[in-house]
């Protein structure tokens, strides 16, 4: 198979191949490149090689694609919205968004497949996945049910067209009512990500923080990620000296809540087929509400 790269903006070869081979993950494409089965301009390249306009990519005519071993499972789903193109879920804390090589069951994707179909893009481990929430983060998350919807949503996320709004409780009192936190973030490990601030190596992240209500030793906030970096909100708040309550990776555990107090409260996007703006909200879960009560936040501020 032969392809000509025709984009003005350079792109990694492994990422490009994952787009032109439906059903093949980026990790699978990296393995193809490592096995020297891919050439660019008749030369062997590394997975990190950047393609430029006019480059000619050649792959074997027959590629044995990975078989999806992700099994549908039955279980409770809190569905906020669903049609033929997308499904929006209120994710509970404690469940992975999608399977991993060593964990192929008990994830949100398994449960959704037990209810409906998902896009084939992202197979074998990430069918229909266009963004993720951390295991212990709850709230709004959208999945694509068709390949066309998947590509459209990925483009919306890439171009910062999707608006996300989070609620969090952080340690201490944040002084500024509203502030934008701009820091460079660097992922130290891809398998078990831990993100740090690296001013020379990191990628730009921007998070807008708005104080909803201050308590004695904590602050209830709204966090809006302008960019979409891994662990962006959690690391940004820790950088400010106000880690999310219960965040054991970037802060410390809490007796008030058994996970990080971070909830994806709302999500707004253009419907991939109708092109109409749609907004979804996920009510605050019980453990989050109990935390607010314990730190003395009045009910009138819960959804402020």
Beta carbons within 10 angstroms of residue 219's beta carbon? 23
| CB 158, CB 193: distance < 8 Å | no
Task: Tell me, yes or no, if 134 is annotated catalytic.
Answer: yes
The two beta strands, 262-270 and 218-225, are unpaired
Is the omega angle on the peptide bond into residue 124 within 30 degrees of 0, that is, cis?
yes
Q: Considering only CA atoms, which of 257, 190, 258 is closest in space to residue 220?
A: 257
Cα distance between residue 247 and residue 160, in whole Å: 26
Name the catalytic one among 134, 136, 152, 247. 134
Query: Catalytic residue numbers?
Result: 134
């Amino acid at each position: 198979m032969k392809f000509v790269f025709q984009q003005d903006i350079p792109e990694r070869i492994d990422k490009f191949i994952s787009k032109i081979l439906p059903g093949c993950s980026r990790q699978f494409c990296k393995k193809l490149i490592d096995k020297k089965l891919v050439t660019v301009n008749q030369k062997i390249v590394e997975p990190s090689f950047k393609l430029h306009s006019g480059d000619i990519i050649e792959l074997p005519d027959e590629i044995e694609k990975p078989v999806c071993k992700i099994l549908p499972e039955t279980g409770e789903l809190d569905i906020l919205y669903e049609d033929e193109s997308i499904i929006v879920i209120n994710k509970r804390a404690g469940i992975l968004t999608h399977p991993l090589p060593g964990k192929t069951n008990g994830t949100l994707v398994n449960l959704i497949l037990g209810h409906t179909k998902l896009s084939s893009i992202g197979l074998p481990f990430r069918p229909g996945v266009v963004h993720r929430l951390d295991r212990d983060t709850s709230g709004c998350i959208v999945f694509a049910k068709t390949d066309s919807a998947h590509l459209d949503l990925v483009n919306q996320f890439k171009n910062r067209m999707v608006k996300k709004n989070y609620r969090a409780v952080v340690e201490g009192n944040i002084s500024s009512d509203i502030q934008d936190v701009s820091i460079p973030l660097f992922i130290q490990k891809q398998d078990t990500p831990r993100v740090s601030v690296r001013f020379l190596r990191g990628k730009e992240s921007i998070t807008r923080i708005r104080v909803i209500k201050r308590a004695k030793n904590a602050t209830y906030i709204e966090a809006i990620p302008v960019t979409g970096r891994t662990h962006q909100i959690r690391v940004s708040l820790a950088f400010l000296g106000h880690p999310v309550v219960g965040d054991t990776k970037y802060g410390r555990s809490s007796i008030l809540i058994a996970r990080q107090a971070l909830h994806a409260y709302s999500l707004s996007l253009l419907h991939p087929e109708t092109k109409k703006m749609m907004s979804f909200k996920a009510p605050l879960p019980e453990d989050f509400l109990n935390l607010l009560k314990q730190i003395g936040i009045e009910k009138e501020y819960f959804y402020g």
